[in-house]
Structure formats: structure tokens, C-alpha cells
Amino acid sequence: MVEISSSILSVKEGKETETFFALEQAKVDFFHIDVMDGKFVSKNNYEKMFSYASYIKRISNLPLDVHLMVENVEDAIEEFSALEPNIITFHYEACKDREEVKRIIKLIEEYHIRVGISVKPETPIETIYEFLPYIHSVLIMTVEPGKGGQTLITDMIEKISKLKRYINENDLEVDIEVDGGINLRTAPEVKKAGANILVAGTAILMAKDYKVIVDELRK
């Protein structure tokens, strides 16, 4: 069963409350919190995303799927762990070496939070194979991280199926989450390739009826 994680990156200022309630009514599985520090990616929405996530925590029981696009991963984990997210995903490219990747996996686990590693489009999927036995999900960026509303990079479909094959061949239990440019046109191919969690921001937020889109994406 495919799960839908709705990105709140592009939620309209002033319409946050109604949007969050409408997303909950649409039965999304997670709120996808896109945290950007203005260093790892050019946009800085760190404080805004922390306050949105804190607010969502107060008004909804839906789990938080935190996507850290930050250089200082450890500080962000300390701060966002206070919101008891279901999962914290950090970028492989934000780590200087494999020791740091392992240290961060352990740090997130110490908070009893599920661990995700994200890879940018240009990062070969093989680079994270060694960490798969220790994490819960891989977030494959199907666009360059940093902003919403971009078009899915079609080369990423092969990357998804390559990871799916490796997971199956090695009897691993790891979710494949895809993020960026996911909509009614691209969802079928990413699901066919093996993705089981779809992040969608623009495709849902631009719809008149969120539930129609969410149900369609999940099919």
C-alpha cells in the first residue's frame, strides 16, 4: 500500500490552519516538513517550518515526516526531535564521511525516531547501500532539493528501481520515499519502479479537492 506524505513547503501564508485541517480531512498519511537552512539549499525556512510543525503537532495526530535540507544536521535533529516526529530524514551529502553518517543514524535512533537518508539526484544510489540495514527509509529526490513545483527528473525512475532491486535481493526492509514533481502523471511510474511513500506538495495544494488527488496518487 502506497502512503502519501504531503509537503507543506508551499502552503499559502495566512491559509495555514485551513490547509492543515483540509490535508488531514483528505487523509494524507504524513505531513512532510521541508526544513531548509539557506546553506545546504539557498532558501531558509527553518524557523517557519519549526513553527508550522509545532502547530501541526498541537492540532493533529498525523505523523510528521521531517526532511532536513540542512548543513548542521545534528543541531536540527536536537531541535526537531522535541516535536516527536515519526521520521527524521537527513541528506547523505550533508555528511563529510561515512563515520558522520553512522553517527547521525545513531543520534536519531537515540531519540527513538525512525531514520531516513536522502540522496540528491546526482548522488549514485550505491553510496548509501552500506547504511540500508540500519535505516528505515531512503528519500530519493526526484528534483534538485530547495524548492517546490519543479518537474520530476525522469532519470530518477531507474534509480528507484535499482534501489528496489537491491533491497529485494538483500532481503532488506527499507521504505522508498520519492520527493519532488510527484503528481497524477508521474505517480504511476514511480510506484511501478518501487516507491511506497510519495511526497507531494504542489500537486495536492493546487487541487480544489485535496482528497480526490490524494486518493488518486495512492491508487
The number of residues that bind ligand DX5 (CB under 6 A) is 22
Binding mask 41-80 for ligand DX5 (x = CB under 6 A): --------------------------x-x-----------
179 binds ligand DX5, rule: CB under 6 A? yes
- The nearest distance, CB 200 to ligand DX5, in angstroms, is 5
Contacting residue, 85, 107, 128, 145, with ligand DX5 by CB under 6 A: 145
**Helices vs. strands in the chain: H and E counts, helices first:** 8, 8
Contacting residue, 7, 19, 137, 186, with ligand DX5 by CB under 6 A: 7
Q: How far does Cα 175 stand from its chain's mean position?
A: 11
Cell of 138: 531512503
181 binds ligand DX5, rule: CB under 6 A? yes
> Is residue 179 annotated as a catalytic residue, yes or no?
yes
Whether the CB-CB separation of 174 and 194 falls below 8 Å is answered with no
Which residues are paired to 115 by β-bridges?
88
Which CB atom, from 60 or from 150, has the smaller least distance to ligand DX5? 150
Which CB atom, from 35 or from 157, has the smaller least distance to Zn ion? 35
> Is residue 37 annotated as a catalytic residue, yes or no?
no
Scan for cell 539557498, then name that residue. 42
Strands (E), the chain: 3-7, 30-36, 64-69, 87-91, 114-119, 137-141, 175-179, 197-200
Binding mask 183-212 for ligand DX5 (x = CB under 6 A): ----------------xxxxx---------
- The nearest distance, CB 152 to ligand DX5, in angstroms, is 8
Which CB atom, from 67 or from 191, has the smaller least distance to Zn ion? 67
Strands (E), 79-144: 87-91, 114-119, 137-141
Which CB atom, from 67 or from 136, has the smaller least distance to Zn ion? 67
What letter represents residue 180's amino acid?
A: G
Look at residues 159, 204, 206 and name the one whose alpha carbon lies nearest to residue 178: 159
For the annotated catalytic residues, the residue numbers are 34, 179
